[in-house]
Amino acid sequence: MSRRAVFALAMSLSLIVAACGDSDDGLLDPPAPGALVTVEPGAPTVCSRGTPYRFFAMGGDPKRIVIDFEGGGACWNALTCSIEDAIFAAEAPTTEQFTAYASDPALGGIYKEDPANPFADWSLVHVPYCTGDVHWGSATKVYSDTLTIEHQGLKNVEAVLDWVAAHYDPEVVFITGCSAGAYGAIGHAVRITRLFPKAEVRVLADSGAGIITDTFFQQSFPNWQAEAALPLDLPAFAGKNVLDLTIAELYSGVAAAYPKMRIGQYNAAFDRDQTFYYTVMGGGDPWSDKMRQSVETIRAAADNFRYYIAPGPVHCIHPYRIFFDRVSGADDKAYLDWLDDFVNGDTLPDDVACQGEACKSDPVCDACKTSGSEDLVCRWCTEWNAEQ
């Protein structure tokens, strides 16, 4: 059954499970090709306000698996954590919400049944995000008498990975995530690599460049208690204070410890969401310039790191229809071809980046203006002006 058919029939096919039967190799049976399974692990998993956590697995080739960390903002103090739906998602999606989201015509991306999709036949595990801590937290934080947040992203991720390890013995693992999910992807890449030491691992963070103010980790890490999520036992981090760790150092340290791991980032040159959060944190210098400096710093330190910078303001690519159409760079390199090379090629592809005025002219936004669409892609283009 195709992935498209899964979404069309999800309400009749989806199951809420804790486990399946044993297979001959000792693993529990993974979801059958075309099946959608909703897993509710129970305690100690939890969402920010105490509601249940759940995740989703889509059946495909059991030897090739996508682990996709959901995005959705973050919160780190009483103000940001009090406005749940405006700045972060407080609950895990239901099966109905997940299938409706994935079948939205503006979306699709890595979930879409399309011969051009490098992951069309892969198994796929979707890791929802409802803790406001970029999948890193391990704290119950009392912000006020009326506001307690369960920053328990780490426990939720560990439950997902325990389930994956019980059901799969993959040869290739593609780890990704959009927005906050991008930090989940790189933050848990070492944990996943250690879980599947025989697998080839590719990590591609989608629109999470980690451009933050100097004080952000000092403000957020104590509230999240995020240290346990990060691979601080790697040689590159010996003697370092986690509160002083930059995203560039995190990437470089992971890349150095695992030279066979392929690691990358996708960003839009004027990403509106990342720029917004940087501004909320009190950032001053242009976000776009700092993003380029960051990826170039990682690239100089890590031969196994690559980046792709697209024009315009659209935040994220893997969940969206533009996954199949985006091009960038002097040669109009298609992102789909670049990603296929990144995951499946014999060697890593070259970096791709728009330059100068080309970054300020986004065909996606031009098409949105022509059509008058206000879908989930076009919303990023509304009133966007690269000169502002």
User: What tokens appear for 273 in the block?
Assistant: 């969401």
As a three-state string, the secondary structure of 158-172 is HHHHHHHHHHCCCCE
Q: At what angle do helices 287-301 and 272-280 cross, to 10 degrees?
A: 100
Residue 111 amino acid letter? Y
Tens-of-pLDDT digits for all 388 residues of the chain? 444 344 433 433 444 544 445 555 678 999 999 899 999 999 999 999 999 999 999 999 999 999 999 998 899 899 989 987 778 899 999 999 998 877 788 888 999 888 899 999 999 999 999 999 999 999 999 999 999 999 999 999 999 999 999 999 999 999 999 999 999 999 999 999 999 999 999 999 999 999 988 788 788 889 999 999 999 999 999 988 888 889 999 999 999 999 999 999 999 999 999 998 898 888 888 999 999 999 999 999 999 999 999 999 999 999 999 999 999 999 999 999 999 999 999 999 999 999 999 999 999 999 999 999 989 899 999 988 776 5
Query: Which sign, positive or negative, has the C-alpha torsion 44, 48, 49, 54?
Result: negative
Rounded Cα–Cα distance for residues 200 and 310 (Å): 27
- Work out the burial of residue 223: count CB atoms within 10 Å of its CB; fewer than 13 is exposed, 13-18 middle, 19 or more buried: buried
- Does a structural domain hold residue 386? no
Quick check: 207 and 178 in contact, CB under 8 A? Answer: yes
pTM for the full model?
0.93
Quick check: 229 and 272 in contact, CB under 8 A? Answer: no
- The number of distinct structural domains making up the chain is 1
CATH at 17: 3.40.50.1820
Task: Reduce the DSSP state of residue 8 to 3 states and report it.
Answer: helix
pLDDT of 237 reads 95
- Work out the burial of residue 134: count CB atoms within 10 Å of its CB; fewer than 13 is exposed, 13-18 middle, 19 or more buried: buried
- How far CA 77 is from CA of 72, 152, 165, in Å, comes to 16, 15, 34
- Beginning with the edge strand found earlier in the chain, give each strand of the sheet holding 262-268 in spatial order: 15-17, 36-39, 55-58, 122-127, 61-69, 172-178, 200-206, 262-268, 305-310, 352-353
pLDDT of 18 reads 44
Alpha-carbon torsion, ordered 364, 365, 369, 374, to 10 deg: 90
- Does a structural domain hold residue 207? yes
Residue 195 amino acid letter? L
- Does a structural domain hold residue 144? yes
pLDDT of 8 reads 37
pLDDT of 13 reads 40
Rounded Cα–Cα distance for residues 233 and 194 (Å): 13
Rounded Cα–Cα distance for residues 176 and 246 (Å): 20
DSSP string, 39-58: E---TT---TTSPPP-EEEE
DSSP β-ladder status, 200-206 and 172-178:
parallel
Quick check: 334 and 342 in contact, CB under 8 A? Answer: no
Quick check: 3 and 113 in contact, CB under 8 A? Answer: yes
pLDDT of 5 reads 42
pLDDT of 22 reads 57
- Does a structural domain hold residue 276? yes
- Does a structural domain hold residue 68? yes
Residue 346 is classified by DSSP as S
Q: Which of 131, 141, 221 is nearest to 181 (CA)?
A: 131
Residue 250 is classified by DSSP as H
- Does a structural domain hold residue 27? yes
* Matching residue, tokens 């980032």: 265
DSSP string, 16-85: EES---B-TTSSBPPPPTT-EEEE---TT---TTSPPP-EEEE-SEEEEEEEEE---B---SHHHHHSHH
Rounded Cα–Cα distance for residues 156 and 179 (Å): 18
DSSP β-ladder status, 172-178 and 61-69:
parallel
pLDDT of 6 reads 45
Quick check: 248 and 297 in contact, CB under 8 A? Answer: yes
- Does a structural domain hold residue 148? yes
- How far CA 169 is from CA of 21, 23, 194, 199, 342, in Å, comes to 15, 12, 13, 8, 22
Question: Domain range spanning residue 178?
Answer: 3-381
- Does a structural domain hold residue 262? yes
